[in-house]
Chains A and B, each alone.
Chain A
């Protein structure tokens, strides 16, 4: 089952777990082709029956060398590539990249562009969470929420399609603002979507939140304390569910998030159920932001003055945004030429995935699946 380069590294489990009664330890290779590893994650599990003695993640199956590609592209040319990292939240990736380059250039997008950016990014957050909810519930065995969430995510994708022609890898933003003015009826569509999706979120909750089996499967599963979460660099809803009230949109506001009124939902126990509740609350907060943004959207230009040939001054900058999965950071080094000297992406999924080992210690096989689901990883972003 395991091939020759599967040497299990010594895991720093507090007490080395021994299989019961000298039963044979079972080494199971979960993935890279497996229905519940969300792509090509490979997890090597050491099992005693159903109990997990230790696990190791093997990643890199989707490695495309995005950071290397960036060094051979101009700043503008690299923009579409970032959509391919976290392909379920492509708009967020684009926002992070554009803002970082803008920071390097010293320009700022005009207010109207900022508002449209916020609307699209928050719509994308809703879409990303919907995809997470559907697949997570499917992993735990509830098949119906998947279809509900995909039905509603479709509406978001339709808005994207009408706005920029693409549904998934949107390439919605340009450095310095937007390429496209919002189409006629954009605001109306967004308003309609908000009023359409709010009751649907109650519908998801109705299926799961008080479902006994759902509670049994998620409460107390994959617990991570706030201290561990910070030490492991875990961000996003996973961190907030452990009780750390930290959201980059509030802590270090970017775009124009400081204009909007919203709460940071947090949990207490840091278990899978709290992460579920936090994300469900984030749905509602995102809708609040969208509502405010669409009500306050100003008229004006959508593109700042940026040179045709972008040559940012020599220097380096790190900028990060709150992507649906956590802190998405870009570290760009410019040498004054048209091409970035180095682009480093700080992927939230990659760092969050590292917590899998801690969260799965002593758990059962089924919990590993639940925890992979609750971490909300996208392998395109883990491997880049």
Chain B
């Protein structure tokens, strides 16, 4: 299917992501922040779709929006909201924050202007239809080792969580 109004959707989604991101750090209510983050993640998933990466988009929805953020909310809900709203926000380091953001932004711009060549500007071969297979082949072929390392890391995290929780059960 031919894409329709690509720039419009890109800027729409990018706008949603930026607004969502700002809401995440400005809302006092932690649940609202988490919900804003979910909106950002969903918009990101839509951007993946526009990049002909439906598999990554699907995984983004299942894992981030549907899984991780639910667990986030799960924890946040247990914290008394009245208390957190009343408490003063402790991170008053605006200047450092802005400096860090500017530095990161500068880095991005620098990378983009200097190394434009490394970004593929053409459509990926195989495209949408073969996306899942491509991801699978890459993960289990070229990037087998990092993939396994990541799973090992997760295993360590799981064992750590079990050890922490088991102390009381």
Contacts and interface: CB of A to CB of B under 8 A. Distances in A.
Interface in A14-67: 20, 23-24, 49
Nearest to A24: B80
A24 B78 CA distance: 7
Nearest to B169: A20
Contacts, number: 7
Contacts of B165: 20
A20 B168 contact: yes
B168 A23 contact: no
A136 to B, nearest CB: 29
Nearest to A23: B78
Interface in B154-169: 165, 168
Contact of B79 (A20, A24, A49): A24
Bin chain A's interface residue count.
under 10
Main SS of chain B's interface residues? loop
Contacts of A49: 78
Contacts of A20: 165, 168
A23 B168 CA distance: 14
Contacts of B80: 24
Nearest to A18: B168
A327 to B, nearest CB: 40
A20 B161 CA distance: 14
A54 B78 CA distance: 19
B83 to A, nearest CB: 9
Contacts of A23: 78
Interface in B57-89: 78-80
A49 B169 CA distance: 13
B169 to A, nearest CB: 9
Nearest to B164: A21
A307 B138 CA distance: 101
Nearest to B79: A24
A309 to B, nearest CB: 66
Nearest to B165: A20
Contacts of A24: 78-80
A374 B102 CA distance: 66
A49 B75 CA distance: 11
A20 B79 CA distance: 13
A208 B165 CA distance: 35
A207 B73 CA distance: 39
A356 B79 CA distance: 30
A24 B82 CA distance: 13
Contacts of B79: 24
Interface in B71-120: 78-80
A182 to B, nearest CB: 61
Nearest to B78: A23
Contacts of B78: 23-24, 49
A14 to B, nearest CB: 16
Interface string B43-58: 0000000000000000
A23 B74 CA distance: 12
B160 to A, nearest CB: 14
Interface in B135-163: none
Nearest to A49: B78
A24 B79 CA distance: 7
A23 B77 CA distance: 11
Nearest to B168: A20
A49 B80 CA distance: 14
B159 to A, nearest CB: 18
A287 B65 CA distance: 60
A65 B2 CA distance: 81
A155 B87 CA distance: 64
A224 B105 CA distance: 66
A20 B166 CA distance: 11
A23 B76 CA distance: 11
A23 B75 CA distance: 9
Nearest to B75: A23
A49 B168 CA distance: 14
Interface of A: 20, 23-24, 49
7 contacts: A20-B165, A20-B168, A23-B78, A24-B78, A24-B79, A24-B80, A49-B78
Interface of B: 78-80, 165, 168
Q: Which 5 A-B pairs have the closest CB atoms?
A: A23-B78, A24-B80, A20-B168, A24-B78, A24-B79
